[in-house]
Structure formats: C-alpha cells, structure tokens
Structure 1
C-alpha cells in the first residue's frame, strides 16, 4: 500500500492530508489488484502507524468502497490504541446492511457491458471516459476487484467506535439510498451526524471545500 502526502487543502488549519493509492490504479496500474478488505486494511494500517507516531489527532475519510476501508481501518487503529478524532464516510450504505442492496446485481463477475452500464449510472453526466476503449481496458480489472471486495466483505459487529462518525449522502445517488446511510450511527458511541448533500454518487466532487471544512473543523 502507498500513502501519498497531498498539498495543503485549507489554510485555516495546520494539518496534512494523506491519500491512499490502491494497487492496480493510476501510477500503480501494473501491480495486482487486491480483492479482500482485510488485506487492504493490513497494508493501510502498516503505512499509517509511523505517520501517527507523533500522537497528533487524525481523522479518516472514505468514499464509496473507501468508506468500508476507512471504517475497518478506524476499528483496527482504535484496537491498537490510536483512536481517530473523527471518521467521515461518504456515498456508502452502512456496513451492517446486506450487500449488494436489493435490485443491484452482483457485478464483480458480470460481463463488461453490464459493468459499463452500472458505471454510467453512477457517473451520470461525467461518464465520457467510458467511451474510450483503451481507458476501459485499464480500469475494468480494478473495478472488478472493488466489486469483489464488496461482495466478499463480511461485517463483524463490534462494541462501536469511540470517535464521532459523520456520514455524507447524495440526495440523488442511484445506488445508495439516504435511509441506508443513517444506520452508520450504530457504529459509534461518541456521536453521529448525517449530512445529505445535493448530487449523485460522486457528489463529493461538487462539495470538496465543504468536506474539507467538515474534517478540518473536527481536528
């Protein structure tokens, strides 16, 4: 796993942002994709432990499948005595709910046409990249790995996190219903907040300053 420091996102706070880059994506496209959440959590926590050694407060953010990864990473780090200051999950139903949700097919082993159709549904007007066969050939293996991870992920109930959880949802998300996001509140003993923002599945692209403000204010 690789964590990459990002440029400063907001001048009001002296904090750093680190982005997780999965194998099989972007500059790591030659690496084999990971198909199990627990293996990704192992890799992410191994990378983050040295970064968190200074004892400063930290938060975790994940969108879509990344919300599951952020949640399980938060639980793992909390078990090591490194409690996050906040967990922000976005565009993902609560982990306790069954996956796939009703009406959504199993996609990790679907043919390419069905997978592209699903991606067009999620991307909406921003689906131009799906018209390029060369880009699709690069992207589809990683997308299948993502869906395989979600298909095989098994939620294990726990005592609940001791950090606040903020759940973000898009009011027009075609696959993540707002009422399926609310049960994230069961995963914490330290306060829960839910925000419904305008947009589809990738509403985060339209609301990045607000999301940065939300995370930074908790740190």
Structure 2
C-alpha cells in the first residue's frame, strides 16, 4: 500500500508472526481430523463446533484456506513500513513466540510496540476492552 502512496495510520498485527519469520508449520496439509485437533489445541473454538458434522463441512474449507494463505505467503524484502506497528500476542500462544511477535520491529521504520496479554492464541476473547484500547491508541482514535 505504501508503495502506491497509501500510508496506513498504523498496523496492528495480532497473533501473527512477522513476515520476516519462517513460514507456517504445514497445518494446511493436515487431514481434517488432525486440523481439528490443531484447532482444539488453540482453545479458541467452541467445542460444540467439533461435534456438528454439517457445520464442520461448511467451515472446514474456509479454515483450510486461511492456513493455506498464511503458509503460502513469502516475504519479499522491501522498504520498511513508515506507519507505526504494534504486535499483540498472548503470553501462552502455542503458535507464536514472543521473538516471532517482536520481529515485527524488523519491518517497522518508525514506531514499534509489542503488547503481551495473558492467555493463548485467542487472548482477544479475554482482553477485548484492553486490545480495543491499544488499537484505538495506535490509530489515534
């Protein structure tokens, strides 16, 4: 976007490793049963979803596509971002280390901030108001 003259007010990156980190873990290639087991480990999906075959049939393609997109992305080095970057993560995220979150600073030319909340990958559910405050602050709202 910045290369096209569109400079975002800020980039909040939540629960996601920096683009400079190694790509994903091959979750997209797992069979449905293993992919569901992986989702259960993250403790962010209502367990009733795993029991409803019809609903699973509707959402599994979208879930798999999300993992394919994440794991297929390859970082192309370029100019650092001129907008502030804030990385948000849970202190017990099984899929994102603090170093991977902190690595967002490698692509930030100006301000970088790392905010760590209690919880796992879905820390947002337990800290909605706090996260909203951080995002409002970084966006200047």
2:89 matched to which residue of 1? 169
Confirm whether residue 96 of structure 1 aligns to residue 20 of structure 2: yes
Structure 1 residues 130 and 162, CA, compared in 2 at 3 Å: closer, same or farther?
A: same
Structure 2 alignment gaps of length 5 or more: none
Deviation of the 1:125 alpha carbon: 7.4
Q: Is the 8 A contact 2:86 2:112 kept in 1?
A: yes
SS at match of 2:42: helix
CA distance in 2, matches of 1:96, 1:193: 17
- If the length of structure 1 is used for normalisation, what is the TM-score? 0.60
1:81 matched to which residue of 2? 5
Q: Is the 8 A contact 2:23 2:72 kept in 1?
A: no
Higher normalized contact order (CA 8 Å, seq sep 6+, divided by chain length): 2
- If the length of structure 2 is used for normalisation, what is the TM-score? 0.90
Q: Is the 8 A contact 2:39 2:45 kept in 1?
A: no
The alignment yields a C-alpha RMSD, in angstroms, of 1.5
The structure 2 residue matched to 1:202, chosen from 117, 122, 132, is: 122
Deviation of the 1:167 alpha carbon: 0.4
1:22-171 pair list within 5 angstroms: 76=1, 78-100=2-24, 104=25, 106-123=26-43, 126-171=46-91
Deviation of the 1:109 alpha carbon: 2.7
CA distance in 1, matches of 2:65, 2:29: 10
Aligned length: 139
Structure 1 alignment gaps of length 5 or more: 1-75
